[in-house]
Amino acid sequence: MNIYVGNVSYSTNDEKLVELFSTFGEVASARVISDRETGRSKGFGFVEMPNDSEASAAIEALNEKEIDGRTLRVNEARPREERPRRAPRY
């Protein structure tokens, strides 16, 4: 299951997400999304857990939990919507 993790602290990295979610089961991947130009965290990420029951337990336990002073929003990720590409700025 692909899990959306929102409102994470800007100091949170991929390893911290793995550490947080691995207490509930196997984590296949974890990624904090960062701005392409600045490299700074955008404050959200995704965690992939192969076992749906472990993923559901993680969502249940971590949604609205305070980590590093921020209240996490954790839920099953929705498929990404195709958006038109923005025209480049000159």
Contact between residue 65 and residue 71 where contact means Cβ atoms under 8 Å apart: yes
Q: Is residue 81 part of a domain?
A: no
Per-position pLDDT tens, the chain of length 90: 999 999 999 999 999 999 999 999 999 999 999 999 999 999 999 999 999 999 999 999 999 999 999 999 999 998 877 767 777 766
Q: Is residue 90 part of a domain?
A: no
Count of domains forming the chain: 1
Q: CA angle, corner 2, sides to 28 and 75, nearest 5?
A: 130
Q: Is residue 42 part of a domain?
A: yes
pTM: 0.86
Q: CA angle, corner 39, sides to 14 and 18, nearest 5?
A: 5
CATH number at residue 13: 3.30.70.330
Q: Is residue 84 part of a domain?
A: no
Which domain range does residue 54 map to? 2-76
Q: Is residue 33 part of a domain?
A: yes
CB atoms within 10 A of CB 84: 5
